[in-house]
Structure 1
Amino acid sequence: MAKEQAFFKNGLMAEGIAIDRDEFDESGYYQGTVHVWLHRKSESTTEVLLQKRAATKPVRPGEFDISAAGHIDEGESPIETAVRETCEELGLVVAPDELELAFVIRKTDLKKRIATVYLYEVDDSFTATFTDGEVESILWTPIDEFKAMTVDPARHLLAEHGNGYYAVLIERLERV
């Protein structure tokens, strides 16, 4: 049986639904996902943390991607998922009220998803620890370089997110 995750239909969360991955695309539902983008201020710019996905990951192996992300489990809120995934993938314990809601977007690049996107500011003392095997390494990227990477993601091994995702993200990051 498939692991129960939070699914959305017509913008409303549908609870208690388990759909096999092979049948998901035809289901009419959207998977609930969370993205957490870590950033830090330096003297002259904002830097964005990219995770390099482990080569063993079935989706986007070896690509640079969101600082921390994952599916919303059944019975879990987006903010609870953000806290869990940030700890699992980067070893960073965050309090829910420290996460800043950036935006919510409907995505159709790989599968149908509704992504709740958060920002979280860290300082220079932050050190990532990789315990779940999903992340190979991290890369701090100045926002201007990150912006340039998003113009041609494939050239920079940056995961594509479609739907103007990066434009909205960069606009939010430039305001922090």
Structure 2
Amino acid sequence: METEQLAIFSPTMERIGVRTRAEVHAQGYWHETFHCWFLQEVASKRYILFQQRASQKKDFPDRLDITAAGHLLATETAADGVREIQEELGLDLALADLVPAGIVPDPILIQQFQDREFCHLFFYQIPVPITNLVLQREEVAGIAYVEFTDFEHLLRAQIETVTAQVYLTEPHDPQKIITRHFKLADFCPHSAHYYETVLSAGSAIFERRQSGTQISKFLSES
């Protein structure tokens, strides 16, 4: 994985070359990623779904993160990133099934980890129970079902914890769901601008309920 070839970009998103994934993170080059957030509305309650990263992951193990995401190789486009949904969650979708929300810069700069991403951001309103998902155990420890407004309040320091139902990938009990409590430190440290974009776009989708329509129109009307 560290030898994967990624395109690198200037801060204004001009392609300037190709480097290995290890070099990209060590040197802090801007690069492209695919992000897809799952949303669901159940009994008038709105939820955003977080992937809990597996404990053996090199970066941010056990943290809550984007429902499905991955790096785009130098030869790939955002459409190729849809494979991450099938690999990590076992759900076969096409790009047309998703709601696009543009490209969002998201720098995460922590000591030796210099991660500067241009994120191709998408949303999907999942119509089936999360227990229908087949999680990739090596990558995904579980899926946390967080009320959308609770996450918003947590980000804005209006509450200290959120309560979530978590669907686990335990081999002896593949349908196990438990209740857990999470603090802000349990989530991956994406930039404030990135999370605010996710909240704005997600809220617009819930309000309009028109998945498949350009989210930029929703945001311009919000």
| Shorter-chain TM-score tier | 0.7 to 0.9
State the shift of 1:145 in Å.
Answer: 1.3
Higher share of residues assigned strand: 2
TM-score computed with the length of structure 2 as normaliser: 0.70
* Identical amino acids, percent of aligned pairs: 23
- Please, which of 75, 100, 116 is the counterpart of residue 120 of structure 2? 116
State the shift of 1:61 in Å.
Answer: 0.5
Aligned 1:21-60 pairs, distance under 5 A: 21-22=22-23, 24-26=25-27, 29-60=29-60
- Secondary structure of the 2:108 match is coil
Letter in 1 for 2:47: E
- Please, which of 168, 172, 183 is the counterpart of residue 155 of structure 1? 183
Q: Quote the Cα distance in structure 2 between the aligned partners of 1:34 and 1:131.
A: 17
Larger Rg: 2
Call closer, same or farther: CA 1:48–1:88 in 2, change over 3 Å.
Answer: same
Q: Which moved more, 1:124-133 or 1:44-53?
A: 124-133
TM-score computed with the length of structure 1 as normaliser: 0.87
State the shift of 1:58 in Å.
Answer: 0.9
Q: Quote the Cα distance in structure 1 between the aligned partners of 2:142 and 2:135.
A: 8
Q: Quote the Cα distance in structure 2 between the aligned partners of 1:122 and 1:130.
A: 15
In the alignment, which residue of structure 1 is the partner of 2:94? 95
Q: Which moved more, 1:65-74 or 1:126-135?
A: 126-135
Aligned 1:11-30 pairs, distance under 5 A: 11-14=13-16, 17-19=18-20, 21-22=22-23, 24-26=25-27, 29-30=29-30
Q: Quote the Cα distance in structure 1 between the aligned partners of 2:154 and 2:79.
A: 28
Call closer, same or farther: CA 1:14–1:170 in 2, change over 3 Å.
Answer: same
State the shift of 1:8 in Å.
Answer: 2.2
State the shift of 1:158 in Å.
Answer: 1.1
Call closer, same or farther: CA 1:143–1:24 in 2, change over 3 Å.
Answer: closer
Q: Quote the Cα distance in structure 2 between the aligned partners of 1:168 and 1:90.
A: 23
Higher relative contact order (CA 8 A, sep 6+): 1
Q: Quote the Cα distance in structure 1 between the aligned partners of 2:7 and 2:153.
A: 34
- Secondary structure of the 2:183 match is helix
State the shift of 1:88 in Å.
Answer: 1.0
Number of equivalences: 173
CA contact (8 A) 2:50 2:145 kept: yes
In the alignment, which residue of structure 1 is the partner of 2:194? 165
Gaps of 5+ in 1: none
